[in-house]
Amino acid sequence: LMVDFRPDFNGTIVQRLIDTGAIIMGKTNTHEWAFGPTTEESFFGPSHNPWNPKKITGGSSGGSAIAAVTGMAYVAMGSDTGGSVRIPSAMCGTVGFKPTYGLASLHGIIGLSFTLDTPGPLTRSVMDAALAMDAYAGADPLDPCPGRLSGPFQKFAESLKEVDNLKGKVIAVPTNFFFDKTDYEVEKLVMEGVAAMKDLGAEVRHIEIPSLELVPNVSTVILFSEAAQYHKERFAKYPDKYQPGVKARLEQGGAYKAVEYIDALKGREKIMADWERALTGIDGVVVPTCPIPAYDIGLPAPWNIQTRGKTEEGRAMCTYHTRLANTAGIPAISVPCGLTSEGLPVGLMIMGRRSDDAGVLRLGYAYEKHNQFPKSI
């Protein structure tokens, strides 16, 4: 439906990047309507992982991850609604930053879920992500969702310059939810990353975070319902123009009742409150970005994969860890932490308190400086 679309104006983020000297190179492949975690369902075909072309890139911003990790661009953009910046970053070995909800304008962006959509950069370094945020973050009178802004805003890149260690910082590793379905190799690499952060001076605590079990259902109901509302007229007119998986998700979203959506909104409030309480005295929470590495392109539905000796649905596993940050509106960054025995990248995700974007970037920057993961391939 959008293959020949050419906008007649620049979105706020694009214009602000141009205003600071960025050269816009073009568009990258994405999962159709940004509504999928693999970048397989696209008019242009699937994106292929640069580390192994038989594997998925993750999504929805799979093309952006390729552009960043191969050195085509210093900054590639994505819209993170359930992990669309961080999932491909983890699977392709780039940095992916999802800011606090409301920190960046949605003006000019084709939406999916107006209470979850969060534009973020995919880059080869945390500093590049911070520079991108300096360029485009901030209030915008054209933002279609006014009142979302959470400020005050820091100069993100400037805040990184003196960071060399993690002395005085407290990081937490959850004892519930995040490692229940995590591949053993992924867990090993992430915990090695935690050990490295401890060596840099951080205090490591192991904590239980309430309400995490609510996240999968709450985020699904909110995301699918809002996506169905956004696509209502277009989907009614052109249902067969949608990829099968996207079509199924929109039909599911349209079937939810108002009371189910309201229940999900109430569940989100509980998740947000419990998160902020759990992070009292803690600078960041460290978990695997995705519980699994990239899997084969073209797996038949239901995309079954093996993890921890059990069969799981692959697409659900892609978003299993990333949805929390969108549901709670908090900042999160994925930083590469190593390669599996098959040579596939793994991402370490750091999440923080709402509006502490600079703090999350600093934690990621300190870890990245002492981690010898290649910046590009």
Q: How far is CA 322 from CA 149, 233, 288, in A?
A: 22, 29, 9
Q: What are phi and psi of 207, to 5 degrees?
A: -130, 155
Does residue 198 form part of some domain?
yes
pLDDT digits (tens, 9 = 90+) for 317-348: 999 999 999 999 999 999 999 999 999 999 99
The SS3 call for residue 95 is strand
In this structure, are strands 332-339 and 345-351 parallel, antiparallel, or unpaired? antiparallel
- CA atoms of 117 and 98, how far apart (whole Å): 10
pLDDT higher than threshold 90 for residue 118: yes
CATH number for position 64: 3.90.1300.10
Q: pLDDT at position 4, please?
A: 84
Q: What is the number of domains present in the chain?
A: 1
pLDDT digits (tens, 9 = 90+) for 347-357: 999 999 999 99
Average pLDDT of the residues in 99-120: 94
**pLDDT range class, residue 238, cuts 50, 70, 90:** very high
Does residue 222 form part of some domain?
yes
- CA atoms of 65 and 49, how far apart (whole Å): 9
pLDDT digits (tens, 9 = 90+) for 40-97: 999 999 999 999 999 999 999 999 999 999 999 999 999 999 999 999 999 999 999 9
**pLDDT range class, residue 147, cuts 50, 70, 90:** low
Question: What is the end-to-end Cα distance of the chain in Å, rounded?
Answer: 33
Q: Which residues contact 84 (CB under 8 A, 6 or more apart)?
A: 31, 34, 37, 59, 60, 61, 78
Task: Please give the share of the chain, as a percent, with pLDDT higher than 70.
Answer: 98
The alpha carbons of the chain give a radius of gyration, in whole angstroms, of 19
Does residue 320 form part of some domain?
yes
**pLDDT range class, residue 146, cuts 50, 70, 90:** low
Average pLDDT of the residues in 264-285: 98
Does residue 295 form part of some domain?
yes
**pLDDT range class, residue 145, cuts 50, 70, 90:** confident
The helix, strand and coil proportions of the chain, stated in percent and rounded to the nearest 5, come to 40, 15, 45
The SS3 call for residue 344 is coil
Does residue 94 form part of some domain?
yes
pLDDT higher than threshold 60 for residue 151: no
Q: pLDDT at position 377, please?
A: 80
Q: Which domain holds residue 39?
A: 12-369
Does residue 199 form part of some domain?
yes
Q: pLDDT at position 3, please?
A: 82
Does residue 1 form part of some domain?
no
- CA atoms of 262 and 201, how far apart (whole Å): 44
DSSP assignments along 307-336, one per residue = ETTEEEEHHHHHHTTTHHHHHHT--EEEEE
